[in-house]
Amino acid sequence: MLYYEDELLVAIDVPYISTTFAIEKPTWIKCNVKLTKEGLQIKFVDEVFTIPFTTIEYSNRILSHSVINSIQFTSKYSFFIVIDHRKNATIGYENILFSTLLAGNKTEIYKLRYFLTAILGLQVDPLLKNLTVEEVRLLSLIDDNVRNVEQLTAIFDENKDLLYRTFYALVSKSLVDDRATLTSTGLLIIRKVKGIDDAKKSNETELKDKIDEVVKLWDDSEKSIIKDNKNKVYLKYGESSLSGSVLTEDIWRFLPLKEIKETKIEDLKESGLGLVMSTTYDSSIFLRAYDDSVIFTLKGLLDKKDDIQIRILYCLYLGIVEETSILSILDIKAHTFLEQHQQMEKMGILDNRIISNRGLDLIHKMIKGYCTVLLIYRDVSTRRLEHMRMDNSKKVVIDKLKQKHDKFRNNISSTIY
């Protein structure tokens, strides 16, 4: 498989380049460079030189300014990559390190760097070699001043144990201290991850591109962590019965909500809480939800005597977000919904049809009220509510990070134009 191919300037088998000392003038040769499944293949006029992936120790290592200046001056290129690889020694049995330099235009060098990192992973970078993806992520968050445990837990998909293990791993590696302050080594890694060192060697336009790349890294983190499990539903009329499993956000599509005339919550000791519903055509429906909060909010949604704003809140909580569906289920006019929705946004209960933490607190309070009235004194499950709360915290973190990078990007744009 061919991952990459281009014409680059190459200096082969340079004795291992120190990070602190200068180097002798390297001999540059224009070669055809290929990246295949076997390794990095460099083709001269009548010779092919291959660096197997298994022999590569480091890639894109940070060098001293004197070395960088020497490489850029002799190659006439600002962009380059250094690859440190093992090779059999002429004398003795030990393998020794050599450095191979490749220089070219920005696009090709960045492309080569990308494929090398994708194939070899973090281990080829001397700074990132011993770091996990989670450790790099947490280090970046701390650098962006995100230290709230609830928000960090949301980013780590609600796995608090993983968050704490990752933090103590960073402390043990002397990348942060006990107060979550980055050490000099931690700062160096952050500069590496965000490409700040490369950006300094480029112009402002290249720096803007770099920042855009950083923002894109958070796209996968924006995915919702709400786990919508299936609920058991039983329908019965006379001797006929029907049973099945329905996702919470599909309940309204399967049950005749407008035809339900009575509801009752039953506490079944073997299987927990259940909602019994009777319809206008004398059939009965039993719902056993994976989460008790679904039982309480569905009952409140069906209670026509309840406050209309609370019922709208319950609709959104159960995944009913289309305006036409809400209007039909609640039997209200569009202008009524618009007025109530605007009031709820002003109160901070909703944010563009997403329930805010204040709205979730209100739902939690209503559930506790139901428990008091029904004399239910044991803990009821509110997993869906907690997942929504974590989603909100996660969104706050992502928005802050993007705003910070957007502001930085805009500042760079203003200096360019």
| Residue 220: pLDDT band with limits 50, 70, 90 | very low
Residue 33 lies in a domain: yes
Question: Which single residue is written with the structure tokens 């837990």?
Answer: 153
Do residues 118 and 138 share a domain? no
Do residues 216 and 307 share a domain? no
Contacts of 173 (CB under 8 A, 6+ apart): 130, 131, 135
Which among 12-21, 187-196, 320-329 has the top mean pLDDT? 320-329
Residue 388 lies in a domain: no
**What domain count does the chain have?**
3
Residue 163 lies in a domain: yes
Do residues 242 and 361 share a domain? yes
Question: Rounded to a whole number, what is the distance in angstroms from the first to the last CA of the chain?
Answer: 43
Q: What is the pLDDT of residues 32-53, one digit of tens each?
A: 999 887 889 999 877 888 998 8
Spatial contact of 75 and 94, defined as CB atoms under 8 Å apart: no
Do residues 198 and 324 share a domain? no
Average pLDDT rounded to a whole number, residues 113-118: 73
Question: Which single residue is written with the structure tokens 């058991």?
Answer: 232
Do residues 110 and 151 share a domain? no
With 80 as the cut, is the pLDDT of residue 132 above it? no
Could you tell me the CA-to-CA distances from 186 to 123, 162, 358, 411 in Å, in that order? 17, 20, 37, 26
Do residues 234 and 366 share a domain? yes
- The pLDDT > 70 percentage for the chain reads 77
Do residues 190 and 242 share a domain? no
Which of 105 and 158 is assigned the larger pLDDT? 105
CATH of the domain at 76: 2.30.29.30
Residue 387 lies in a domain: no
Which of 307 and 92 is assigned the larger pLDDT? 307
Do residues 169 and 291 share a domain? no
Which among 12-16, 234-238, 401-405 has the top mean pLDDT? 234-238
- Please identify, among 107, 124, 141, the residue that sits at the C-terminal boundary of a domain: 124
Phi and psi for 96 in degrees, rounded to 5?
-125, 160
Residue 20 lies in a domain: yes
With 60 as the cut, is the pLDDT of residue 303 above it? yes
CA 52 to chain CA centroid, Å, is 33
Do residues 201 and 255 share a domain? no
Residue 25 lies in a domain: yes
Residue 389 lies in a domain: no
- Please identify, among 89, 124, 159, the residue that sits at the C-terminal boundary of a domain: 124
Question: Identity (one letter) of the amino acid at 48?
Answer: V
Average pLDDT across the chain, whole number: 79
Do residues 65 and 93 share a domain? yes
Question: CA-CA distance, 219 to 211, in Å (whole number)?
Answer: 14
Question: CA-CA distance, 361 to 380, in Å (whole number)?
Answer: 15
Do residues 236 and 363 share a domain? yes
pTM reported for the whole predicted model:
0.50
- Please identify, among 99, 124, 149, the residue that sits at the C-terminal boundary of a domain: 124
Residue 391 lies in a domain: no
Average pLDDT rounded to a whole number, residues 337-352: 91
Range of the domain at 216: 133-223+396-416
Q: What is the pLDDT of residues 241-259, one digit of tens each?
A: 999 999 999 999 999 999 9
Q: Are strands 29-36 and 354-355 parallel, antiparallel or unpaired?
A: unpaired
Average pLDDT rounded to a whole number, residues 391-412: 64
Q: What is the pLDDT of residues 256-299, one digit of tens each?
A: 999 999 999 988 766 678 999 999 999 999 999 888 999 999 99
In the structure encoding, which two tokens stand for residue 205, read together? 């336009």
Average pLDDT rounded to a whole number, residues 189-198: 61
Do residues 159 and 204 share a domain? yes
